[in-house]
Amino acid sequence: MLNNRWVARSKQQWLDEEQQQAWIALVHLMIRLPAVLDAQLRRDAEMSHFEYQILAALSMAPGRSMRMSDLATVTEGSLARLSQAAGRLERRGWLRRTQDPDDGRCTLAVLNDAGEKKVHDAAPRHVDAVREIVFAPLSRTQIRQLTTTAHRVLETIERLDDAGSSEI
C-alpha cells in the first residue's frame, strides 16, 4: 500500500517531459542490462549473473569467506535467494557452507579452489561484455557522470531504507 504522503505528492505534479524520458530510459536499462549480462554469463560460464556476483564477492573477501547475511547485502539479494543460489553453487563444487566458528548462529559461504578458478575463468569475457555494453558507448566524462548519478540515487535509496519504507 502506498504511503499517504506519496499519494499527496503525486497529485501535485507529473514528471516533466525530460524527467519522463530519463525515467523510461532508466527503466528499460534496469530491465535489459541485467538480462543481457545474465545471458552472457549463462552462455559463456554456465552460471547466472547473481551466481557470478556471489563467486566474485567471495573471491575478493578475506579468506574467500563471508557470512551469508553479509554476502546477501553485498550481492543485493535476499537470504532466501542467496541460499538457493549457494545451494546450486555448492552442488557444482564451487563453494561450501559451514557454521561460523566465531558465531554458531551464522553460516559462512566459503569459495573453494574450483570456485575461484571458475570465477577467474569467467571474468575476462564478462569484463569484455561490460566494457562493450556499458563503457564503450560513453566518454570519460559520461562515465564520471554515470558514477556520480548512480551514487546520488543510491544515497537516496539508503536514506529512505534507513528511515523505513513508509517514507516513500
Give the position of cell 554456465: 46
Q: 138 near 130, Cβ under 8 Å?
A: no
pLDDT at residue 25, rounded to an integer: 97
Q: Is the pTM of this model over 0.75?
A: yes
**Band of pLDDT at residue 9, cut at 50, 70 and 90:** low
Q: Give the whole-angstrom CA distance, residue 95 versus residue 68.
A: 12
Residue 134 per-residue DSSP state: I
pLDDT at residue 166, rounded to an integer: 47
Residue 154, C-beta contacts closer than 8 angstroms, at least 6 positions apart: none
78-86: list long-range contacts, CB under 8 Å, 24+ apart: 81/50, 82/54, 85/48, 85/50, 85/51, 85/54, 86/54
Domains and CATH numbers, the chain: 39-162 (1.10.10.10)
**Band of pLDDT at residue 75, cut at 50, 70 and 90:** very high
pLDDT at residue 88, rounded to an integer: 97
Which cell goes with 57? Answer: 564477492
**Band of pLDDT at residue 163, cut at 50, 70 and 90:** confident
Instruction: State yes or no: pLDDT of 61 exceeds 80.
Output: yes
**86-143 tens-digit pLDDT:** 999 999 999 999 999 999 899 999 999 999 999 999 999 999 999 999 999 999 999 9
